Amino acid sequence: MSSLPHVFHNLLRYDTLTFNVGVAAAFTVGYRLEDRPGDPWSARFTKSKFDPDEASTRGAVRLMAHAAQIVVRALGLEPEQTGFTPALRSEETSANPDGVLALRASQCAGVCRYYPDLLQKEPHLPTGRGGLYPEFRSLLVQDANYRADSINVKTIFIVDDFVATGKTLSLAATAILERNPNITVYGLALAKPEWHSLMLDWYDVDVNNDHIPLSWASMWPTLT
């Protein structure tokens, strides 16, 4: 089980995940609460992944770009020495340049550098089939064979929709570090899936999205 996050400039920062090899930290906007579909932010995150439309796609891009700016400033990073790259879908061997993750990563980059083709891998079964069980998710990606190119920055962010156990993020980070040993790798995602009831029972923690400012809803105003 990953450690609990702490609120970092209205985002969630995870310094430890179940799988954490090569990842300095992972940042998410909030939680996707599996057992609270009526939670407004969970509903947004779910729609953007499983039933996207133009409004949810635009909203997620705006929100992620805003989150990226916050993190870059808060960590004191130099934009010219900071890059963003899209994570890879299970069926991809390289990032689809017209895909939603490429769109988000390119907008997150802003004045930083954008690396659309940094990562490559072999197709594998969707990790979602393993639920939140770490051992199952590991089996689904065991033949992914992540690879990366050399890049000329000090910091790279891997942009994804959700971060669950951190397994795919760790595989990507390990590949990047093999080619770029002096780089710092972070993850940046919309949300981390959690079960409110389990977190309450196991850790006596009431996970919620109350840390997200109300004003951020204006960046993603419409649910259809």
Q: For the segment 174-215, what is each residue's pLDDT rounded down to a tens digit?
A: 999 999 999 999 999 999 999 999 999 988 999 999 999 999
Residue-averaged pLDDT of the chain: 92
CA 176 vs CA 115, 157, 185: distances in Å: 12, 11, 8
Q: Which fold has domain 7-203?
A: Rossmann fold (3.40.50)
Out of 16-25, 76-85, 152-161, 214-223, least confident range: 214-223
Going by C-alpha positions, the residue among 77, 99, 73 that lies closest to residue 88 is 99
User: What is the tens place of the pLDDT at every residue in 25-60?
Assistant: 999 999 999 999 999 999 999 999 999 999 999 999
Position 1 scores a pLDDT of: 45
